[in-house]
Structure 1
Amino acid sequence: MQITAAVSRGPESPFTLETVRIDAPREDEVLVRIVATGLCHTDLFTKAALPEAVGPVVLGHEGAGVVVDVGSRVTGVSPGDHVILSYRHCGDCRQCRTGGPAYCENAHRLNSSGRRADGSATLTQHGEPVRSAFFGQSSFAEHVLATADNIVVVDRSVDLVAAAPLGCGFQTGAGAVLNVLRPESDSAVVVFGAGSVGFAALLAARSAGVATLLAVDPVPARRALAEEFGARAIDPGTHDVVGDIRAATGGGATHTLDTTGNASVIGQALSSLRARGSAVVVGLGEPEVAVNVQDLMLSGKTLRGCVEGDSTVQQFIPQLLALHAEGKFPFDRLVTEYRFDDINGAVADQKAGTVIKPVLVW
């Protein structure tokens, strides 16, 4: 079947809408018509990291849409189902068997190899393979091939445009709080970077009843929205971030979350903690960070990473939708819609910080 997709042809080139051919679904695959796709930092990070020599690439991993067809071995998913797409996992490795599908031992092969697990291409153009199957979907396209393990069936009343980022960004921030940090009502939670992941984390902490919330971000509009959501906002360009946090929390935060991937900011997240506090990092960025091991040890602090909010998507995404239905997790307020043919405008606005979460709508 011929479809339109947003194709990347190099780290510096814009996305271009092009015609590609998608395979018919195999016996274990599901064909989904995409309604909307969130634009995530991971898409842009990956685009920048792939050299032109790899050829055309279709990214996108926060897809939401309607099932068109299913393979003969697929169960639990039917044509007409409304679905949110997330990351793939094998279900058989030690991590998957012990409740850690986000850390699947086969994650690279299933999510970022550019092919199916058997090495075949889901998309072609002029008879040549197109690097695709990103997070088992490549949802910068009108249609995608997915599998039951990265599909969450949702009620038809769910707004797929607003809910699309639950597949990655929103669940990453919310899961880092609810599944990993697990603050209590008397905790003091600080989020570094008030983008879509950071705001999801703030909203999740608020839903858990945390009274003391702080957000650190250089963009005034984002600080204003954080305050609207009940957080104290700190401008890192004009304030002593660590000093302000310690003053506002009576000695230091109990929990901090870094969404920036910036080494100096991660250092602030650790320094801002009180004794026995916990810091989690979720941002792709600098691969190495200097850590004061004496402070870490003597203060009993914890530093750990987190992928996809430590979530099992078939359970966690419905949990987040339930919180939204109760008015406790208003993720729709973070979304700005863009026509799919304005994908480069969405990229520019995201990089400029003028929007929190761009969502591309077909």
Structure 2
Amino acid sequence: MRIRAAVTDTPGGPFTVREVDLEVPRPREVLVRITAAGVCHTDLSSQAAWPAELMPMVFGHEGTGVVEAVGAAVTGITPGDHVVLTFHSCGACAQCAAGHPAYCRSMRALNASGGRADGSTPLSWGGAPVRGAFFGQSSFATHALAHERNTVRIPADLPPAVAAPLGCGVQTGAGTVLNRLRPEPGSSLVVIGAGGVGLSAVMAGVVAGCDPVVVVEPVASRRAVAVSLGAQAALDPADGDGIVAALLDLTGGGARHIVDTTSSPEMLARALGALRHRGDLVLTGIGTEVSFDVMSLLSKGVRLHGVIEGDADPARFIPELIALYRQGRFPVDRLVTTFPFEDIEAAVRGMRDGTAIKPVLVLD
């Protein structure tokens, strides 16, 4: 079928909306008419570093929409269902079987290879391949093919702009706190970076009863949002080494949990200084190589975590986040700025210049 998609032709090149062809669903695939798609830093970092030989390429991995068709072997999903698309996983490896599909043995092949696990791509133009199946979806498009495993049914009345970010960024931040850290009420939580992932971690910390919740973020407007969402304090990293002293003071001698979304070597060094003995330091950001003073890790008994996708099982966790949103305890909508699909480059600029915390593309 003929669809419209935001295509990238060169590494780091612009997103250009144009027509492409999409295959019909294979036996376990689901055809979804996309109603909204979040823009995530992973889309931008992947686009910048994507191999030229795997271009042109369609990115997008926070899609939501309505099912239009399903493959012959699909069960539990039917045309007309409203769904969120999330990361793909095999369902058969030890990590998937244990309820940790974010660490699937086939994660890269299924999500970041420029195609399906067998190397094929569902997209083409004029008979030439257009690479796709990014995170099992490539949802910067009017329609996407997903697998039944990365398609989660949602209530039909959930606003698409709220639903879309649940598939990755919101799931990552909230899941880091609720699935991996599982903090005790009253334990201190510091979040470094108040983008979509960081503010989702803040909201999850408030839900879990963390006290205090403290944010470190350079953009003043985002610091204000963090406080409005329940953070007791929001600090500017421009204060330099004074940040460590401030965090030690606010957390009564050191934070029990610190979640970093920046992968900044400078901020991670400060985080280690602000952590109490036997505290948890969680890395969620994709960035450059960082190093740690091993003696500091050992002497403090620091527990270092690497977390992707919030260590979530989306089929279980996304409905939990929706329930919290409906209860008024997880106001995802306050992070969202919407853009028409055709204005994807404006959405990207908003993310890069800090004016949009979570840009979401909306489609008719």
TM-score (normalizing by structure 1)? 0.98
Match of 1:338 in 2: 339
- Between 1:293-302 and 1:129-138, the stretch displaced more is 293-302
The CA distance in 2 between the partners of 1:256 and 1:293, in whole Å, is: 18
Match of 1:170 in 2: 170
1:252-279 Cα offsets, whole Å, 9 max, x none, are 1000000012122122222210011001
2:271 to 263, 269, 272: 269
1:282-325 Cα offsets, whole Å, 9 max, x none, are 00011x21211112111111111001000000000000001111
Match of 1:279 in 2: 281
Counting matched residue pairs gives 361
- 5 Å-filtered alignment, 1:62-211, equals 62-211=62-211
- How far residue 54 of structure 1 moved from its aligned partner, in angstroms, is 2.7
Q: Is the 1:63–1:167 Cα contact (8 Å) retained in structure 2?
A: yes
1:144-192 Cα offsets, whole Å, 9 max, x none, are 1011100110111111211100000000000000011111221110000
Q: One-letter code of the match for 1:271?
A: G
Match of 2:243 in 1: 241
The CA distance in 2 between the partners of 1:31 and 1:147, in whole Å, is: 9
Q: Is the 1:242–1:271 Cα contact (8 Å) retained in structure 2?
A: yes
Q: Secondary structure at the match of 1:84?
A: strand
Q: Is the 1:43–1:59 Cα contact (8 Å) retained in structure 2?
A: yes
Match of 2:54 in 1: 54
RMSD: 1.0
- How far residue 211 of structure 1 moved from its aligned partner, in angstroms, is 2.3
The CA distance in 2 between the partners of 1:307 and 1:25, in whole Å, is: 28
Q: Is the 1:163–1:332 Cα contact (8 Å) retained in structure 2?
A: no
The CA distance in 1 between the partners of 2:152 and 2:34, in whole Å, is: 14
Q: Is the 2:12–2:49 Cα contact (8 Å) retained in structure 1?
A: no
- Between 1:155-164 and 1:246-255, the stretch displaced more is 155-164
Q: Secondary structure at the match of 2:323?
A: helix
The CA distance in 2 between the partners of 1:192 and 1:10, in whole Å, is: 32
The CA distance in 2 between the partners of 1:175 and 1:55, in whole Å, is: 32
Q: Secondary structure at the match of 1:113?
A: coil
4+ residue runs of structure 1 moved beyond 4 angstroms?
none
Structure 2 unaligned spans of 5+: none
- How far residue 51 of structure 1 moved from its aligned partner, in angstroms, is 3.8
Q: Secondary structure at the match of 2:342?
A: helix
1:200-247 Cα offsets, whole Å, 9 max, x none, are 000000011112010000001001111112210000113511111001
Match of 2:10 in 1: 10
Q: Is the 2:203–2:230 Cα contact (8 Å) retained in structure 1?
A: no
TM-score (normalizing by structure 2)? 0.97
Structure 1 unaligned spans of 5+: none
